[in-house]
Structure 1
Amino acid sequence: MRIIVQKFGGTSVANEDVRKLVVGKVEKVRSQGYSPVVVVSAMGRKGENYATDTLIGLARTANKNIAARELDHMMYCGEMISAVIMAGTLQAAGMDAVMLTGGQAGIITDNHFGRARILKIEPSRIISLIKAGRIPVVCGFQGMTTEGEFTTLGRGGSDTTAAALGATLSAEMIEIYTDVDGIMTADPRMVKSAQILDCISYGEVCQLAHQGAKVIHPRAVEIAMQKNIPLIVKSTFSDEPGTLITNIGQDENGGTIVSDRIATGVTSLSNIAQIRVNIDAGAAHGSSFQVFKLMAESCISVDLINVHPGQIMFTVAGDAAERAVNRLREGGYQVAVTYDCAKVSVVGGGMREVPGVMASFVEALATNKISILQTVDSHTSISALVKREDVQAAVLALHEKFGLAG
């Protein structure tokens, strides 16, 4: 069996006209000799009748603190509606499509409602359907515990569903359909000269996603990478080839990819707060550990960590800042906080061991009079904390400095 998994996001299944385009994408891979497995998200976006956020809002009209288990049952409905409609659309076009919930597709998860992790996939039912020439239409974002409880996989969970199914079924390709023509060098709303990338490595796209780019969920990339299955991010609304995500140096036809680019893209995250904790420079080595233990116990995620004698600096999401500060002060620490920050990042697998990359990064911001509050770097990324009002200027400056405008 030659299998391709095709995942269609909410805008790709939102109305009848768009769903006809989906039919064309499914028909195309069938004509090429592949067996498609279709994964769908809930229809539309926030405010539309069956979008996930709309369903969450409806549930919370009854109880704003509704339990996670019951909320998962509500969120489950969005993908079920979408899958039924998409299966019906394919049937009307003459294809033998079968709608499956996440549980029916064999996706077994733990019981962390709202953010479940896939434990395993039992693919026998899907394999039987494919062998019979039928097209499974699977609800993304969903799973089921061994006890039969409905679960959801968290934001971006439909990407994760597609990747997990692709890995389990040894698919030749995973196609992620959205409303853009591919992964871009920057957010085009910030940078008009942003370019679509023809190819990007698994590691680079994971970094972009973790640093704020809303391209594909990093969990999905990590799953596909384990089995070395290529992913393609492309548009439902055009025939553009999209962006290939694969091991660097090899394309989907086994050809060689040659690229000497240092940077692949620039991205940003807003609504960040910087926290500075004063500690006794002569205190026991466990002092910094205690600071981060307090954050962990409070379920507060930290980023951009710098530890110095006498001071620890890190960032948290803006909506967690007050809780973090209060918890640290309760622990006896002196704390200062800077609100309204943003993180800008340059990502690129080619920057490893290349001298002068940090100099170029700092020069780009300094030339544009953008103050750097904090930095952190790795082999494949450099990030700086800036004031929120400087974020667009920072992204533009870095995009130009690293030659990403084409």
Structure 2
Amino acid sequence: MFPTVKKVSHSITIPVSNAVEINDAKEDQIISIAYDKSVALIRINCPGLDGDDWVIEVFTALKECSTAFDMVSIQPHQVSFTVKSGLVDTVYDSLEKLEFHPESVADCVRLSVRGSCGQPLLSTITAVAETLAQFNIPILRLAESYGLIEVLIEAEYISEARKALAKRFNVYIHC
């Protein structure tokens, strides 16, 4: 049975992009910077199979072993994602059965920079990248989504990153 579609009595106007004020020159209002430890970055290179069915096999295997994952990147010849560090062996065992040979960066930290009002942090994402680059801290992942920036770095850099970002944004870092 197909769901019924109710017609509306009036048309809905979606605002055009220039109707939303976004000022990327104005400094963002940062309300917190926090981090969580024990995250692992898993990378799987294309096993030489035809097509992209192998990508589906990877995520099906993760589902079957009840593994939650995050920060996904799907490239033409590589899939990568993060999991809690305690799940690395489970992921490896699950993917080895499929003859996929993952690599991992096991000791990572996810930094979260949160702004106010749920607005895109356009100038802040640039400031985060610049600040970490100034201290030669490699960024494994960097994402922004309406008021939240997530940065994945290796755990060895957390102390330096905390200090640099706290100074840059003049905020207290929550542990």
TM-score tier, shorter chain, comes to: 0.7 to 0.9
Return 5+ residue gaps in structure 2 as ranges. 1-26
> What's the CA shift for 1:282?
7.3
The residue number in structure 2 matching 1:392 is 159
Q: In structure 2, what is the Cα distance between the partners aligned to 1:384 and 1:393?
A: 14
Greater relative contact order (CA < 8 Å, ≥ 6 in sequence) = 2
The answer to whether the aligner puts 1:311 opposite 2:82 as a matched pair is no
Native 8 Å contact 2:40 2:82 kept in 1: yes
Runs (4+) of structure 1 moved beyond 4 Å?
Answer: none
Native 8 Å contact 2:47 2:100 kept in 1: no
Q: In structure 1, what is the Cα distance between the partners aligned to 2:169 and 2:118?
A: 11
Aligned letter for 1:399?
A
State the Cα deviation string for residues 18-76 of structure 1 (Å, max 9, x = none).
xxxxxxxxxxxxxxxxxxxxxxxxxxxxxxxxxxxxxxxxxxxxxxxxxxxxxxxxxxx
The answer to whether the aligner puts 1:325 opposite 2:92 as a matched pair is yes
The residue number in structure 2 matching 1:404 is 171
The residue number in structure 2 matching 1:378 is 145
Aligned letter for 2:89?
E
Aligned letter for 2:67?
I
Cα separation, partners in 2 of 1:262 and 1:286, compared to 1, 3 Å: farther
> What's the CA shift for 1:286?
3.5
Q: In structure 2, what is the Cα distance between the partners aligned to 1:277 and 1:359?
A: 29
Q: With the length of structure 2 as denominator, give the TM-score of the two structures.
A: 0.74
Cα separation, partners in 2 of 1:378 and 1:396, compared to 1, 3 Å: same
Q: In structure 1, what is the Cα distance between the partners aligned to 2:39 and 2:138?
A: 16
The residue number in structure 1 matching 2:111 is 344
CA RMSD of aligned residues (A): 2.2
Native 8 Å contact 1:273 1:340 kept in 2: yes
For residues 116-131 of structure 1, the aligned pairs below 5 Å read: none
1:269 corresponds, among 18, 28, 36, to 36
Q: With the length of structure 1 as denominator, give the TM-score of the two structures.
A: 0.34
Native 8 Å contact 2:121 2:149 kept in 1: no
> What's the CA shift for 1:350?
4.5
> What's the CA shift for 1:281?
7.8
Give the number of the structure whose alpha-carbon radius of gyration is greater. 1
Q: Secondary structure at the match of 1:264?
A: strand
Q: In structure 2, what is the Cα distance between the partners aligned to 1:348 and 1:286?
A: 38
The residue number in structure 2 matching 1:296 is 63
Native 8 Å contact 2:115 2:121 kept in 1: no
Structure (1 or 2) with the greater strand fraction: 2
The residue number in structure 2 matching 1:169 is none
The residue number in structure 2 matching 1:369 is 136
Q: In structure 1, what is the Cα distance between the partners aligned to 2:156 and 2:168?
A: 20
Q: Secondary structure at the match of 1:356?
A: helix
Q: In structure 2, what is the Cα distance between the partners aligned to 1:266 and 1:323?
A: 30
1:287 corresponds, among 25, 31, 54, to 54
> What's the CA shift for 1:338?
1.3
The residue number in structure 2 matching 1:106 is none
Native 8 Å contact 2:121 2:147 kept in 1: no
State the Cα deviation string for residues 148-192 of structure 1 (Å, max 9, x = none).
xxxxxxxxxxxxxxxxxxxxxxxxxxxxxxxxxxxxxxxxxxxxx
> What's the CA shift for 1:280?
5.3
> What's the CA shift for 1:351?
6.6
Aligned letter for 2:32?
G
Native 8 Å contact 1:263 1:350 kept in 2: no
For residues 53-202 of structure 1, the aligned pairs below 5 Å read: none
Q: In structure 2, what is the Cα distance between the partners aligned to 1:314 and 1:371?
A: 17
Aligned letter for 1:265?
S
Native 8 Å contact 1:262 1:351 kept in 2: no
> What's the CA shift for 1:316?
0.8
2:124 corresponds, among 331, 344, 357, to 357
> What's the CA shift for 1:357?
2.2
Q: In structure 1, what is the Cα distance between the partners aligned to 2:121 and 2:37?
A: 28
State the Cα deviation string for residues 362-381 of structure 1 (Å, max 9, x = none).
01111122111222221121
Q: In structure 1, what is the Cα distance between the partners aligned to 2:49 and 2:29?
A: 41
